[in-house]
Amino acid sequence: MDSKWYNLIMKKINIGIIGLGTVGAGLVELIKKNGPEMRRRQGIDLRIIAACDLRAGQGKKVGLPKATVFSRDYRRVLADERVDTVIELIGGLQPAEEIIKRTLASGRNLVTANKKVLAEKARSLLRDAMNASGFFGYRAAITGYFPLIEFLNRSQLQSRVIEGAYGIFNGTCNYILTRMERERCSYRQALTAAQEEGYAELDPYLDVSGMDTAHKTVLLVNLLYGYQMDMKQLYVEGIQKIDYRDISFAAELDYRIKLLAIVRKAGSRCQVRVHPCLVSRRSQLGALDKVMNGLELEDARGQVGGFIGPGAGKFPAAYAVLDDVITMACGNRYSYPKRQAGLTISGINEVESNFYVRFMALDKPGVLAAISSVLAKRHISIASVIQKEEEPGKAVPIVMLTHLARERDMRAALDEIYRLKVIKSPPLMIRVFDELPSLRG
Amino acid sequence: MDSKWYNLIMKKINIGIIGLGTVGAGLVELIKKNGPEMRRRQGIDLRIIAACDLRAGQGKKVGLPKATVFSRDYRRVLADERVDTVIELIGGLQPAEEIIKRTLASGRNLVTANKKVLAEKARSLLRDAMNASGFFGYRAAITGYFPLIEFLNRSQLQSRVIEGAYGIFNGTCNYILTRMERERCSYRQALTAAQEEGYAELDPYLDVSGMDTAHKTVLLVNLLYGYQMDMKQLYVEGIQKIDYRDISFAAELDYRIKLLAIVRKAGSRCQVRVHPCLVSRRSQLGALDKVMNGLELEDARGQVGGFIGPGAGKFPAAYAVLDDVITMACGNRYSYPKRQAGLTISGINEVESNFYVRFMALDKPGVLAAISSVLAKRHISIASVIQKEEEPGKAVPIVMLTHLARERDMRAALDEIYRLKVIKSPPLMIRVFDELPSLRG
């Protein structure tokens, strides 16, 4: 069997689409709309041979071409011998993993937008993909809208090492945080609004828990250093505990709260973490609102480059899928970095940050002294304090920004402070994102 | 003579560098530092065969390899038969144009960072380049740090039309404007500071006049639509007239002042202009400080993508040059868009904007009424007004934001208002940048 199923001269691509949800529908629309011009001008002929979706009426609903064979069973798409390129858009682990593995094994081309399966099965799937004879594209799974793969491929050709990557990768979380800030509302209210407006799923867990961002981060680390992380190696914290109060205190300190993915390499040690951060209002990442995503990259010389693009909606991901198909049609493949030898992932406990902490304390003399002395014992020094009176007799918030401290020490201090009698609920801690020197205000 | 001078298998590139200024020095440093690893890992062997600079000691100063033949005459670099790839880094029109033309005609590869010669000689040079058998790279001339060419090449393959492009392309101007804002100082003081810190040339004309931005914009329009503009077709206004007072009024209105390049296509008509703008503080472009550059692109569906990166310094441009060399070494060429038939460039008079205008008027009854009635006569309606008392007896600033108005009408109104006796100096007008819907706050 020929390893290149497509015909390089005619550039005919026979596509099978598995899953006609938002992205699938967008892809069908793009191919129908732009297809004729692509045929005429670029000599690329995209044909949707077969498609499937669990919902029987979905083929009609998305307006599949008449010639397309529609079914409810993905096995029929895989069994169609005319299909040379399988596009997996169902998401989730199974049967996505099976579809990808079978397609790669058969030598056919595979394009997927499924970050979950790629990240959670990274070790086996990415290895399969690298050894496959067919084309493997997953641009839509990582940062659909950015020409990130090209940028990183070329950085590697230049022997240029990216030492820092900082991103907002989840449109749903960013929408919720923007909404809380603007409407001065609770997390719960903002989530409901996001669901009503179609920016959050009915089950928002994957997004708000930070897991979706974590999946993309695992793929990013692979692109950066050829290192296949286990999800277990990654510290992940979602946005569910963020309170409007913290957004408001952060604003007083000239920060906004964003869910960030942070990759920072120093020598052979690399931090990889996903959690909410205080981000300067003046920074690029701090200016990203609603569903916009962004990524900043920093090399060993402190030179920075960045990308922004929409993080939700059907067209960004559909364009990314189309992009992979065209890369393939042009006879190109993505190159993957060689694994950087000896890279190790640091645990979160070793990371140093500035911290934002909020305590809810009884408004009694000596409270501040008690808290400060616990911090001082752990060599954590305080950069600023906000203390506000709220209703008399109730616990009042005490907010502190610390200087650089090690996570391990901070956690130990917070545990100890929580045991103080005057402290009424678990202290809340948010790390402060240390802005890139080149972008620093 | 073989059209590919370089050896595809060994990937040996024999380089001649013309001009060892900031970028040339950065390139020599990158090749010396990253060269050994590029040879080992990528199989790309970059050899600096010859180099020249008018300053006799410059070869030593930048640390040219011992084997490199250094001279003060670019003709000796061109005459060196071993050189297969000429890198032109002298800037300016002559002898840069001659160097580029002779190199392209000889079938050798050419890489240049010279936006001035490419933009001002666009019609002949870009045509020569497209027909040349050698490689032609000018990434460093346009937006060195962004993978823009790849993004646009792929958009074209997808038959996706970019309808809007909005950028901050000049690090010097952005530095000066940021400095004026932070230090509350005059244009003159900020320019002097920029010169002292090496962010502005002793002769800053090319930067502050907007011409440098205009050159990049001409190249951008070429990449977008295959349309080779004449510099004359472009409306260009610099930042020299910006007063700290306007930066401060803009801030009250929640805007910052930035020098923007604006390309906006509707059907076959295209606006192309370079001038200072009021940009929302909340926007991405509005968050770019100091020497950072940025570009936002918008397609027909209103989907937006953007890039940011440093706009000054030796490494961004040197990396861009190296990037071209590697693209070439890998046997790739850039594709250029076919000229979009029937595209015409709209004159500035036809453009509609919201306007910020500042009048210096005697503080007498009826002034506001007189100004407003001239505007009303031209159907220009006022969105907001700021009037401040300054020293008694002196002219006071009256600031207005208008609703959408046509440039022609606005100019006519300002001429008429200037003829009013109470108006003491020419009115100052700054266009308001109409933010992209997807980024709008």
Which CATH number goes with the domain that contains B26? 3.40.50.720
Domain count for chain B: 3
- Of B211, B175, B136, nearest to B293 (Cα)? B175
* Residue A423 DSSP code: B
pLDDT of the residue at B19: 96
A104 touches chain B (CB under 8 A): no
Q: Which of residues 351-390 of A touch B (CB under 8 A)?
A: none
Question: Which residues of chain B have a CB within 8 Å of the CB of A335?
Answer: none
Residue A223: CB atoms within 10 Å: 22
pLDDT of the residue at B435: 66
Contact A438 B292 (CB under 8 A): yes
Domain match, A276 and A353 both: no
Domain match, A296 and A152 both: yes
- Of A85, A59, A83, A63, nearest to A71 (Cα)? A59
Q: How far apart are CA B58 and CA B209, in angstroms?
A: 30
pLDDT of the residue at B10: 58
Please check whether residue A331 is in contact with residue A8, taking contact to mean a CB–CB distance below 8 angstroms.
yes
Tokens of A1: 């069997």
Q: How far apart are CA A229 and CA A119, in angstroms?
A: 8
- Of B312, B240, B308, B226, nearest to B270 (Cα)? B226
Q: Which of A116, A216, A258, A265 is catalytic?
A: A216
For residue B95, whether the previous peptide bond is cis, meaning omega lies within 30 degrees of 0, is yes
Per-residue pLDDT band at B436 (split at 50, 70, 90): low
What SS3 class is residue B167? Answer: strand
Q: A4-36 as b/e, with b when 16 or more CB fall inside 10 Å?
A: ebbeeeebbbbbbbbbbbbbbbbbbebbeebbe
Among A223-227, A332-336, A390-394, B70-74, the range of highest mean pLDDT: B70-74
Per-residue pLDDT band at A3 (split at 50, 70, 90): very low
- Of B233, B237, B217, nearest to B225 (Cα)? B217
Domain match, B132 and B161 both: no
pLDDT of the residue at A304: 76
Query: pLDDT (tens digit, 9 = 90+) per residue, B329-362?
Result: 888 787 777 777 789 999 999 999 999 999 999 8
Q: Which of residues 38-57 of B touch A (CB under 8 A)?
A: 38, 41-42, 44
Is it the case that residue A140 has pLDDT exceeding 60? yes
* Residue A36 DSSP code: H
Q: How far apart are CA B423 and CA B419, in angstroms?
A: 7
The H or E element containing residue A117 is helix A115-120
Residue A326 lies in a domain: no
Domain match, A302 and A270 both: yes
Strand ranges in A25-153 using DSSP code E only, listed in sequence order? 45-52, 69-71, 85-88, 109-112, 136-137
Residue B340 lies in a domain: no
Complete DSSP assignment for B302-355: --EEEEEEE-SSHHHHHHHHHHHHHHHHTT-----PPPPTT-EEPPGGG-EEEE
Check if A216 is active-site: yes
How many percent of chain B have pLDDT more than 70? 95
Residue A321 lies in a domain: no
Contact A283 B287 (CB under 8 A): yes
Domain match, A65 and A203 both: no
Is it the case that residue A201 has pLDDT exceeding 50? yes
A167 touches chain B (CB under 8 A): no
Domain match, B136 and B153 both: no
Q: How far apart are CA B258 and CA B253, in angstroms?
A: 15
Q: How far apart are CA B434 and CA B406, in angstroms?
A: 14
pLDDT of the residue at A418: 96
Residue A323 lies in a domain: no
pLDDT of the residue at B5: 42
Q: How far apart are CA A358 and CA A253, in angstroms?
A: 13
Helical segments of A290-399, H only: 314-329, 367-377
- Of B425, B383, B428, B422, nearest to B405 (Cα)? B383
Domain match, B248 and B294 both: yes
Q: How far apart are CA B334 and CA A251, in angstroms?
A: 46
Q: Tell which wins on pLDDT, A389 or B321.
A: B321
Per-residue pLDDT band at A145 (split at 50, 70, 90): low
Tokens of B274: 């370079």
Give the mean pLDDT of chain A.
89
What SS3 class is residue A88? Answer: strand
Q: Nearest 5 degrees, angle CA A229-CA B42-CA A127?
A: 30
Beta-bridge mates of residue B293: B309
Query: pLDDT (tens digit, 9 = 90+) per residue, A88-112?
Result: 999 999 999 999 999 999 999 999 9
Is it the case that residue B143 has pLDDT exceeding 60? yes
**If you compute the radius of gyration of chain B from its CA atoms, what whole number of angstroms results?**
24
Q: A329-353 as b/e, with b when 16 or more CB fall inside 10 Å?
A: bbeeebebbeeeeebebbebeebbb
Domain match, B301 and B361 both: no
Question: Which residues of chain A have a CB within 8 Å of the CB of B439?
Answer: 289, 292
pLDDT of the residue at B142: 84
Question: Which among B85, B114, B142 is the end of a domain?
Answer: B142
* Residue appearing with tokens 């009048």: B359
Is it the case that residue B9 has pLDDT exceeding 70? no
Is it the case that residue A439 has pLDDT exceeding 60? no
What SS3 class is residue B16? Answer: strand
What SS3 class is residue A426? Answer: coil
What SS3 class is residue B257? Answer: strand
* Residue B422 DSSP code: T
B145 touches chain A (CB under 8 A): yes
Domain that holds residue A382: 349-439
Give Cα A86 distance to the centre of its chain.
24
Is it the case that residue B2 has pLDDT exceeding 60? no
Please check whether residue A227 is in contact with residue A343, taking contact to mean a CB–CB distance below 8 angstroms.
yes
CATH of the domain at A255: 3.30.360.10
Query: pLDDT (tens digit, 9 = 90+) per residue, B254-265?
Result: 999 999 999 999
Average pLDDT over residues A242-254: 95
A138 touches chain B (CB under 8 A): no
Report phi then psi at B413, rounded to 5. Answer: -65, -45
For residue A95, whether the previous peptide bond is cis, meaning omega lies within 30 degrees of 0, is yes
Domain match, A124 and A236 both: no
Average pLDDT over residues A309-321: 81
Question: Which among A257, A287, A309 is the end of a domain?
Answer: A309
Residue A73: CB atoms within 10 Å: 11
pLDDT of the residue at B269: 93
Q: Which of residues 214-253 of B touch A (CB under 8 A)?
A: none
Is it the case that residue A7 has pLDDT exceeding 60? no
Question: Which among B111, B142, B173 is the end of a domain?
Answer: B142
Beta-bridge mates of residue A384: A401
Contact B303 A292 (CB under 8 A): no
Domain match, A171 and A97 both: no
The whole-angstrom distance between B179's CA and the closest CA on chain A is 11
Please check whether residue B214 is in contact with residue B152, taking contact to mean a CB–CB distance below 8 angstroms.
no
Give the mean pLDDT of chain B.
89
Per-residue pLDDT band at B440 (split at 50, 70, 90): very low
B287 touches chain A (CB under 8 A): yes
Q: How far apart are CA A395 and CA A362, in angstroms?
A: 5
Contact B306 A301 (CB under 8 A): no
Is it the case that residue A437 has pLDDT exceeding 60? no
CATH of the domain at A367: 3.30.70.260
Residue B95 lies in a domain: yes
What SS3 class is residue A278? Answer: strand
Residue A319 lies in a domain: no
Domain match, A130 and A185 both: no
Give Cα B316 distance to the centre of its chain.
14
Residue A68 lies in a domain: yes
Chain B residue nearest residue A309, CA to CA? B305
Domain match, A175 and A289 both: yes
Residue type present at position A131: N
Per-residue pLDDT band at A2 (split at 50, 70, 90): very low
Which range among A105-119, A130-144, B224-238, B394-408 shows the weakest confidence by mean pLDDT? A130-144
Residue A317 lies in a domain: no
pLDDT of the residue at A1: 33
Per-residue pLDDT band at A200 (split at 50, 70, 90): confident
Handedness of CA B91, B133, B321, B11 (dihedral sign): negative
